A and B are shown apart, each in its own frame.
Chain A
């Protein structure tokens, strides 16, 4: 399967920079998935969860509050205000999930999106 480059940048630095198979993004007009060779697109991102299919077939989730994404054929760049990666071992994960919830709650202007994102975070918490 083809790969593309994904970069997630926050004010605290780069939190993800690797080749991925697919990424699902919480766009302001609805969630959308991006595969390699996607046409160029610029979109606002709402509070939600970015789901990444990494090249070694793992699923990584990153909760974000808001931001922008620029999709190119070979490369996707996410510029977000705040992000929490939901990964790591059990104790770290629990902490990350709590942080993610806090982040989403703070973002709170559109309740629907946040509720959806929250349930997603909880789903991830259960699944792991």
Chain B
């Protein structure tokens, strides 16, 4: 019967898909382990660097009553806001990319009074905004799959340059971050101006801070540039780990769904087969009956 054949073909096709998704899950979990390790190691560095910046900001604001360094100067009415987003280069990872895009759109609405400039890292997000005819000033593909410090630093340096020259008032970074194997979380952070308002004022020793080289701008400037570069780089690492964990999850549930579908189809197949046998039997019996 045609129906039987059809169901059989469907079962084997679903089984084939299941094999693929299972393989993809295994690949992702292997990649995740590596990405997680790298992200974990650089997390310490990122944390220490942030702590150092925060402490300097606190010290400066306490000693001179306010920070006059350009990197800390918050503009209450930003005219130009830069948004950088990081998505994956590849799909098949559930809502991973879409969550980031959604967050970008939310932030765009938030600053609807200002001119918004978008910079994108990662094919998927770039494709989305291109399709919706939203312009991007910077875009870079194939960086999110293999984070590279120098390229990340080059990417952000033009924006930092713009910030120093007053072409932009605010730089915001949005990406999907890794929390653990089964959770990702959207991270939205303000890169510039360095947000010193959220810094918790813990008790730092109030002793005089000596700075070398002693015109303190040199040190703070290099430190902040380093901090920005590293923030981007760390965000890339973090996003990569999150991508793999999201894909692992998506592929896991795809494999499960395929299994369920095979089960349902098998039952359907058995029922159809039984039905065919019954019909055949009835035909034979009724044929014999009519001969009597």
Contacts and interface: CB of A to CB of B under 8 A. Distances in A.
Interface of A: 7, 9-14, 27-29, 39-44, 68, 70, 72-73, 77, 79
B212 interface: yes
B219 A44 contact: yes
Contacts of A39: 207-208, 210
Interface residues of B, number: 24
Contacts of A7: 48
13 contacts: A9-B48, A10-B45, A11-B45, A12-B42, A29-B212, A40-B208, A41-B209, A41-B211, A42-B56, A42-B210, A44-B213, A44-B218, A44-B222
B52 A68 contact: yes
B71 to A, nearest CB: 16
B48 A41 contact: no
Given A39-B210, A40-B208, A68-B223, 19 more contacts: A9-B45, A13-B42, A14-B44, A28-B212, A40-B209, A41-B211, A41-B212, A42-B56, A42-B219, A43-B211, A43-B219, A44-B212, A44-B218, A44-B219, A44-B222, A70-B52, A70-B55, A77-B48, A79-B45
A79 to B, nearest CB: 5
Contacts of B181: none
A29 B44 contact: no
A58 B35 CA distance: 36
Interface string B35-75: 00000011011001100100110000000000000000000
A42 B215 CA distance: 12
A92 B245 CA distance: 36
B198 interface: no
